[in-house]
Amino acid sequence: MTDEPPANLTDWKGNAWTPESGTPAAHPNARFTTPASQCPSIAPEWQDPAGVPISAILFGGRRATNVPLVTQSFDWQHGTFLGSIMSSEKTAAAAGTVGEVRFDPFAMVPFMGYAVGDYINHWLEIGDATDAAKLPKLFWVNWFRKSDEGKFLWPGFGENSRVLKWVLERVVGTGDATETAIGYVPTLDSLDTDGLEIDQVTLQQLLSVDNDAWRGEVELINDHFDFVGEQLPQAMRDELENLEKRLAG
């Protein structure tokens, strides 16, 4: 990739293109890739046919409100529930109005090849078939929370490694967390912000869980589960009921 577009190229529709064409050269959801083998920090086991243990799985959504920067589930079933209720602002990868909020279980709806309820149940089956002590920890990340003025609260990009550090600390049992109605979030001093220009008020906003706002989310989740239909595992309804109880407590 270059800083400036070339004088001539073939666009994503197969047409001749120049900087004066006035149309995008690439599809809005285009991906530009390079061989993984060229990554200097790749693990030596990356092609091990026996695989490698997975310590954590992160689900990511795009929410301007209500969803903290990072949340750890209480357990595997609860983590499956968090995955099932993820919602995001629509992007070019999905049909509909860009920016509109829609439920996007596991951030996978555009790529699911079968019923959402069956997909959720598959996650539950993984938990049932595996020693609980060996299951990965499940986390929900949201880099896109905004202030009341519409400004992103978190800088994102390379600074996301600070969240990954806390995730790994939780995996090994050294990271501190606060229990909320929706899961565990970092304490204000457990997230490494050394060298980051972010004040305590902003950090508090990033990690806050507003129970009143989440009561409103519960209504939306109920509608979402109704839409998923009869194939929705009962365990997800049970988790939603548990969430309502925690919000009322």
Q: Is the pLDDT of residue 98 over 70?
A: no
Residue 21 lies in a domain: no
Residue 1 lies in a domain: no
Q: Tens digits of per-residue pLDDT, 9-51?
A: 999 999 999 999 999 999 988 888 899 999 999 989 999 999 8
Residue 41 lies in a domain: no
Range of the domain at 212: 56-248
Residue 189 lies in a domain: yes
The CATH number linked to 179 is 3.90.228.20
Predicted confidence at residue 163, as pLDDT, reads: 99
Q: Tens digits of per-residue pLDDT, 179-210?
A: 999 999 999 999 999 999 999 999 999 999 99
Q: Is the pLDDT of residue 91 over 70?
A: no
Residue 16 lies in a domain: no
- Region 211-240: mean pLDDT is 97
Q: Is the pLDDT of residue 93 over 70?
A: no
Residue 235 lies in a domain: yes
| Nearest CA among 75, 76, 71 for reference residue 143 | 71
* Residue of 1 and 148 predicted with greater confidence: 148
Q: Tens digits of per-residue pLDDT, 109-162?
A: 889 999 999 999 999 999 999 999 999 999 999 999 999 998 999 999 999 999
Model confidence at 228, pLDDT cuts 50, 70, 90, reads: very high
Domain total in the chain? 1
Residue 207 lies in a domain: yes
Predicted confidence at residue 132, as pLDDT, reads: 94
Residue 163 lies in a domain: yes
